Structure 1
Amino acid sequence: MEQRPLRRTGADVSVIGLGTWQLGGDWGDVDDDAAADVLDAALDAGVTLLDTADVYGDGRSEERIRKALAPRSDRPFVATKAGRRADPFEAEQYTAENLRAWIDRSRRNLGVDTLDLVQLHCPPPAVYSDQRVYDTLDALVAEEAIAAYGVSVETVAEGMTALQHPGVQTVQVILNIFRRKPLEELLPAAAQAGVGVLARVPLASGLLTGKYDESTTFPADDHRTFNRHGEAFDVGETFAGVPFDVGVAAAREVAEIAGSDVPTSAFSLRWVIDQPGVTTVIPGARNVTQVRGNVAAATLAPLTDSQLSDLERVYDERIRAHVHDRW
């Protein structure tokens, strides 16, 4: 699989990574065996970046990664996140003491002395401007508790604020056919700063697989049920903030543009891979079939000019009014 430099981290990573939120929780049940199969299939297919977080299943995702990597000599780059354990979830909780405790917990969960990458996990907006937070992260780099740090953001404005701090080496942001705003300012600014970009929610929580219709339902413990209107966390993380019925209709048009010979999910991932400034895209997977479908996107040819134009039209006509000015 194509490898790209994760900019100033010095690591090379696969253009298709693996997001492991599903392996922790909030997407319905994934048992230990299924999680192990997903991780093995991704690694065997050439995935060299795993993205996780300390709150995915209260550490379950990190622990499952540790177990999957234990027998392997080919260790991938593992990016985790910290900050959502703050209780209450307020900027004042991002103290040096708390940051160290969260990061030490991830080191134990993943079974490493030095974490490859720690990303601030969509914290309250004030955190992105708090120099004390960056000073603590710089100290943790000096102590070799972490090798690098970055940010995971909800909005373009948060990403632009974070880029002002020279220690930030990566930005993770929602980017997909239905969430295009980062292309205008954030990705060019990250490229100019030498900052790597991890693109998350690339399939809009499954909308861009083209497999859903207006009658599709999800388990009660799936965020696509319990966070559809932002009841638990930022609604932009669920269906990329697009109302479900609007997204289903738009996804039908995306499937038509992709054509009958190319799976809609792979087509949608290829669109993300080809955006200037993107280092890697991190789709999740709940089973081996989904892993293989995601990885297949790396072998597709770039989209044609006609396809790109048609996708932009779908965005402008159906999606833009719902998401563009919000995130």
Structure 2
Amino acid sequence: MLFGVGISSCVHAQKVQVEERIDSMEILLGDQCHLYLTVTAKDKSILMIPDFTNSRQLMPGIEVLEQAMVDSVMLDDGWARTTYEYTITSFEPKLHYIAPLSVIVDGKKYVGNKLALKVLDVPVDTTKMEQFFPPKDVQTNPFLLDEWIPLIILYGIASFMAVLGMLSYLLKKSNKPIRISFRIVKRVPAHVKAITAIDELKQERMVASDNQKEYYTRLTDTLRKYLEERFGFSAMEMTTAEIITRLSKEDPMKVAELRELFETADLVKFAKYSTLINENDRNLVSAIDFINSTKTEEVVTEQREETVLTEDEKRKNTSFTVLKYTVYVSVVVAIALLAYILWQVVLLIE
């Protein structure tokens, strides 16, 4: 109960107040500081504060540069506190006494408190006047856009070439070329391969083997392969009659022996015909005689065979080559342009 009465007494005892303060008591010659004027009055009161908009002079020796209301706070019981700011300066080095400002509140005059501002002079050593220089003359602008435009364009070209080279390098790295390889192939004449195969039959004693079907199959296959390479027709896919007809121009006796060999082989393979050992020997000798009588004078040779590329592989190799040279040219052009630009920049700066 006592607390409430105290507050009520404080509110009713409140009255109009005018306060002044300055944020700096000392300034250098020509510096600025702020003077704050705070008025506490009823919210609806009519205030008339000092206005230095026209005169610009707070007092002799002190000038007002700006003035504005910076704060307004509502208090209890309809009162308000308003703060005004004055930006001041001085060019007279001495201690200035600032007279209280007057404020009219609802037609009644109220004054603030006294203030003081000390303005300090800037010391100048007059014994060293030669160290002070006058302001420089206005100089022409050394930067001329017309001189730099060509360099800017060249820099753009160099950047483009560098990017082109980088992209070409990445594409080249992911696009490996098809290497052309080769091998050395030993060319063995047809009669040498046939005689070698027949010698293997001898070494395996297939002539006296019970497996006559395998013997005649290997023997006739050897002859068919020889006929394909020697005479150039597909003997592996032809019948005995077709082979004999194709060889009709050769020695009739040798062809007759070959006919007998193939017919015997057909009987053994397809009719389960059984031959004697001397018959097997005779057919083997007939095969060797036919090969020796029809062989050519070829010798074993070595031949280089290279990989044959397809059209797609050729195009891929061509693209790789183009990308490779694009990388080289782009890098060289970019480096040359950048070196030239740097040289020109140095000349312009100098």
TM-score range, shorter chain: under 0.3
Higher relative contact order (CA 8 A, sep 6+): 1
Give the TM-score normalised by structure 2: 0.15
**Structure with larger Rg:** 2
Give the TM-score normalised by structure 1: 0.16
The structure richer in strand per residue is 2
